[in-house]
Structure 1
Amino acid sequence: MKTLLITNANIVNEGKVFEGDVLIRGQYIEAVGKNLASHTANEVIDAKGKYLLPGVIDDQVHFREPGLTHKGNIRSESRAAVAGGVTSFMEMPNTNPPTFTQDLLEQKYVIASHSSLANYSFFMGAANDNLDEVMKTDITRVCGLKIFMGSSTGNLLVDDPKTLEQFFSRFPSLIAAHCEDEATIRKNTAEFKARYGEEVPIRCHPLIRSAEACYLSSSFAIDLARKNGTRFHILHISTAKETALFDNSIPLEKKLITAEACIHHLWFNDSDYDRLGTFIKWNPAIKTAHDQAEVFKAVLDDRIDVIATDHAPHTREEKQNTYFKAPSGGPLVQHSLVAMLEFYHQGKITLETIVQKMSHNPAILFRIQKRGFIREGYFADLVLADLNDPWTVGQENIVAQCGWSPFEGATFRSKVHHTFVSGHRAYSNGRFDDAKHGERLLFDRK
């Protein structure tokens, strides 16, 4: 069985940074410690000066396959993922057709088994009329149930109160939700259309999909989850007001209600619309600098548990459109880790917290088997990065199929050199190795 020894790395793991070695045998980490150089290995990487992190686990991506593959597909976007140090992803059901049946869900797993460089899981999608299909979900082999409690890209809005009650009371595992109040959005849309017609300025986006729309939906959903004892995870928190809904007084392992922040809500604010326009149009919207700061604060104090991307590629042509015609979403999975490492360079977050929020906590929150940590006996999902190797994002180095990024022109001080997925070096200094594909994530749930 092939062995690889990584020596002299600055290992970031479980709240510590220490210099050490990691021995990989096949898919697994065999040993972690110091002075492992005496072990015989097929290959040795001297990582002196570099940092070894657990692979990033992104709990919210949209890879567009099946049906929307002109934007991206599982192969192309998983390559972007491993280029950015993301070794596992959980993908959303708003493909075409939407993932509303067990057969459609399994079709995505088959596609990934033949094409994904990263490990993968897919959310089952909720609709107003598919409760019976949802209840067939094998919760040990599927990351969770996704409910759109606010319309976004695709027609997956679940707005029937009786249906929501059934999902929250009966689904036996994690429910993840997009929370925006549809009635508020429709009211705001009508008001801005009356003022501007079809030419609504992009700067109005956070006023249409407002902080109040987010809070109304999130608070309603949390009340519903508490009433039913539901394991509930709210995606892409974007407002200061919502952060008060979450608790940091108990350990993550015991939380029933958890939350996610996304890179774009930490990096951008509404002052960036004038410069980037519809290229930073997301749902929920990027909001004020105050919202941005408070969401970051909630990440740091553990009210918000994980950091993800909501990676959602659209073509450049689709995004270069008027407000109502431009789709929401953008590609971020290649740049999420280096963006967070840039915050580290700015003194805003520690390396240990980055690893906690991007690797450890997703593994704990979803109860993923043997991933998310640098531990003996765990899968060797690892990222080797140089924190002093500056590079500038440009079309020539963007891996996502859509070929653009909201970070174009930005210079990051850190660079991912190698990404290992279950012991396989899937990415190495700009080159990919498709000899082995990622694996289906499994979950420790009863």
Structure 2
Amino acid sequence: MKTLICNAQLVNEGQISTQDLLIEGGRISKIARQITAPADAKVVDAQGNYLIPGMIDDQVHFREPGFPNKGTIASESRAAISGGITSFMEMPNVNPQTTNLDALEDKYHRAAASSLANYSFYLGATNDNLEEIKRLNPNQACGVKVFMGASTGNMLVDNEDTLNGIFANSPTVIATHCESSPIIQANEEVARAKYGDAIPMNLHGEIRSREACLASSRLATSLAIKHKARLHVLHLTTADELYLFEKNKQLADLKGANITAEVCAHHLFFNDSNYEKLGSLIKCNPAIKTAADQQALIDAVNNDVIDIIATDHAPHTWEEKQAESYFKAPSGLPLVQHALISVLEHYHNGHFSLEKIVQKTSHAVAERFQLKDRGYLREGYNADLTLIDLNKPFHANKENTRYHCGWSAFDGYNFQSSIIGTWVNGNHLFDGEKFINRQFGQRLVFDR
């Protein structure tokens, strides 16, 4: 199918320009100020709205296999498409865990038969699967995921020899969840001694504290520099950690390592004042912290200390989130449908430019993970596109929420922008109101 998108404001590679864009054979075949539509082309008039490369989300938990009551690759990829996310990279803490190559390939088979978005998967690290990591073909997975702090499941990697072995031998990017479990456990004991089981939800950021984050992030960056590894530190939450990346990125360059960092949409959008209203709905690991931390993260995006904006989409059922105590309520929240429009709120509020948002949600992800022919609006690249109306409000509510779990921490919020079109590999899947096509996405290919 050929598609001509005309009268669009293209946001790409630091510039905004009025252009037409022609799609042929699933790829962008031409970008020009004015393109005559081929006779057999479908024409979409963008009416001056903004066309961007689709968001590439490098951190999601789609819960398959093992937890279909929370979500599936089919349900959550569908929600992602409606949110302007065209590709995702999914985490290994499912059941069975993705900690061997057979489990990894099983996920690819599942996605090929059900995912509307393009997909890749992480191989998970444990204290005893270093040999499996060594066997990994660098083009077989988006990266190796290391839980350097316990979050959910039992994938904590805390053996010093194993950590050194992973950082010395991983054939691909190492993506880390950085929180110190001993510090968190000590904080939990103090809180339990004071409150029993009635720990206030707004103490989550003090229990999973800035000290816990900093200690683990410091360890990860030091290991990367020691072993000249490729490290991507996921979901930063504190102002305290940022100096590591201001300093260590320069040191890493000198030592032959490669270190990048990311922030998630909810840590940019919420702060600890939101616990009073939202409670367990915004309980996540690492925790949402203070307004000062939130502002520091926003500044770090603008100053390019933080490279990528992602989601850490992690749905739980409504019933699980209504648990009676702090310890029983699981951590994680669904985000892929609302992440991009929540980041666009920072544009409306004067915090981010559109060019910066595209850099952090698409360009930088493609570069960090060495994706082939994705992440940019370029002739010859796969046509993964998102059309945005900055002047069309979107009121989030249960009726228009597309997550399998059926709820969102954004319920009741009036976003100032809407996603009005999503294309994946040239297929127009979503028109802003409904799904108009059901073509499955492709396995992401790397240029490594």
TM-score w.r.t. length of structure 1: 0.97
Equivalents in 1 of 2:9, 2:44: separation in Å? 13
Alignment pair present for 1:86 and 2:89: no
Alignment pair present for 1:314 and 2:313: no
The structure 2 residue matched to 1:299, chosen from 277, 298, 301, is 301
Deviation at 1:342, TM superposition (A): 1.4
The structure 2 residue matched to 1:406, chosen from 405, 409, 431, is 409
Deviation at 1:341, TM superposition (A): 1.2
Runs ≥4 residues deviating over 4 A: 252-255
Which residue number in structure 1 is paired with residue 421 of structure 2? Answer: 418
Cα deviation digits, residues 395-434 of structure 1 (max 9, x gap): 1110110111111100011111110000011212222245
The letter for the 2-side match of 1:426 is L
Whether contact under 8 Å (1:142, 1:442) holds in the other structure is no
Which residue number in structure 2 is paired with residue 106 of structure 1? Answer: 105
The letter for the 2-side match of 1:324 is F
Alignment pair present for 1:168 and 2:167: yes
Whether contact under 8 Å (2:116, 2:438) holds in the other structure is no
The letter for the 2-side match of 1:9 is A
Whether contact under 8 Å (2:147, 2:176) holds in the other structure is yes
Which residue number in structure 2 is paired with residue 358 of structure 1? Answer: 361
Deviation at 1:157, TM superposition (A): 0.5
Equivalents in 1 of 2:66, 2:166: separation in Å? 27
Alignment CA distance shift 1:45-1:166 (3 Å): same
Whether contact under 8 Å (2:227, 2:257) holds in the other structure is no
1:327-406 alignment runs, 5 A limit: 327-406=330-409
Which residue number in structure 1 is paired with residue 442 of structure 2? Answer: 439
Which residue number in structure 2 is paired with residue 118 of structure 1? Answer: 117
Cα deviation digits, residues 94-143 of structure 1 (max 9, x gap): 00111111111110100000000000000000011111112221211310
Point out the more displaced range, 304-313 or 151-160: 151-160
1:24-43 alignment runs, 5 A limit: 24-43=23-42
Equivalents in 1 of 2:201, 2:102: separation in Å? 39
Deviation at 1:222, TM superposition (A): 0.6
The letter for the 2-side match of 1:161 is E
TM-score w.r.t. length of structure 2: 0.97
Whether contact under 8 Å (1:389, 1:414) holds in the other structure is yes
Whether contact under 8 Å (2:2, 2:22) holds in the other structure is yes
Which residue number in structure 1 is paired with residue 47 of structure 2? Answer: 48
Deviation at 1:49, TM superposition (A): 2.1
The structure 2 residue matched to 1:257, chosen from 224, 237, 259, is 259
Cα deviation digits, residues 127-175 of structure 1 (max 9, x gap): 1111111222121131000000001111110111111110001112200
The letter for the 1-side match of 2:258 is L
Equivalents in 2 of 1:419, 1:16: separation in Å? 21
The letter for the 2-side match of 1:246 is F
The letter for the 2-side match of 1:36 is I
The letter for the 1-side match of 2:267 is H
Equivalents in 1 of 2:220, 2:111: separation in Å? 32
Which residue number in structure 2 is paired with residue 23 of structure 1? Answer: 22
Whether contact under 8 Å (2:370, 2:446) holds in the other structure is yes
Deviation at 1:26, TM superposition (A): 1.7
Alignment CA distance shift 1:66-1:434 (3 Å): farther
The letter for the 2-side match of 1:133 is E
Cα deviation digits, residues 362-389 of structure 1 (max 9, x gap): 0001000000000000000000111111
Point out the more displaced range, 253-262 or 332-341: 253-262
The letter for the 2-side match of 1:149 is M
Deviation at 1:80, TM superposition (A): 0.5
Whether contact under 8 Å (1:117, 1:434) holds in the other structure is no
Equivalents in 2 of 1:58, 1:38: separation in Å? 32
The letter for the 2-side match of 1:95 is V
Equivalents in 1 of 2:22, 2:90: separation in Å? 31
Which residue number in structure 1 is paired with residue 431 of structure 2? Answer: 428
1:221-300 alignment runs, 5 A limit: 221-247=220-246, 256-300=258-302
- Residues paired across the two proteins, number: 443
SS in 1 for 2:7: strand
Equivalents in 1 of 2:140, 2:34: separation in Å? 38
Equivalents in 2 of 1:433, 1:62: separation in Å? 26
Alignment CA distance shift 1:41-1:301 (3 Å): farther
Cα deviation digits, residues 160-197 of structure 1 (max 9, x gap): 11111100011122000000011100110111111111
Deviation at 1:14, TM superposition (A): 0.4
Whether contact under 8 Å (1:29, 1:378) holds in the other structure is yes
Alignment CA distance shift 1:104-1:433 (3 Å): farther
SS in 2 for 1:36: coil
Deviation at 1:247, TM superposition (A): 3.3
SS in 1 for 2:409: coil
Deviation at 1:38, TM superposition (A): 5.0
Cα deviation digits, residues 341-375 of structure 1 (max 9, x gap): 11111111100000000010000010000000000
Cα deviation digits, residues 42-71 of structure 1 (max 9, x gap): 200111221100000000000000001100
Equivalents in 2 of 1:8, 1:255: separation in Å? 43
The letter for the 2-side match of 1:420 is W
- Counting aligned pairs with the same residue, the percent is 52
SS in 2 for 1:247: helix
1:61-210 alignment runs, 5 A limit: 61-210=60-209
Equivalents in 2 of 1:305, 1:433: separation in Å? 34
Deviation at 1:41, TM superposition (A): 4.2
| RMSD of equivalent CA atoms | 1.4
Whether contact under 8 Å (1:180, 1:218) holds in the other structure is yes
Equivalents in 2 of 1:114, 1:270: separation in Å? 40
Task: Give the gaps of 5 or more residues in structure 2.
Answer: none
Whether contact under 8 Å (2:80, 2:86) holds in the other structure is yes
SS in 2 for 1:245: helix
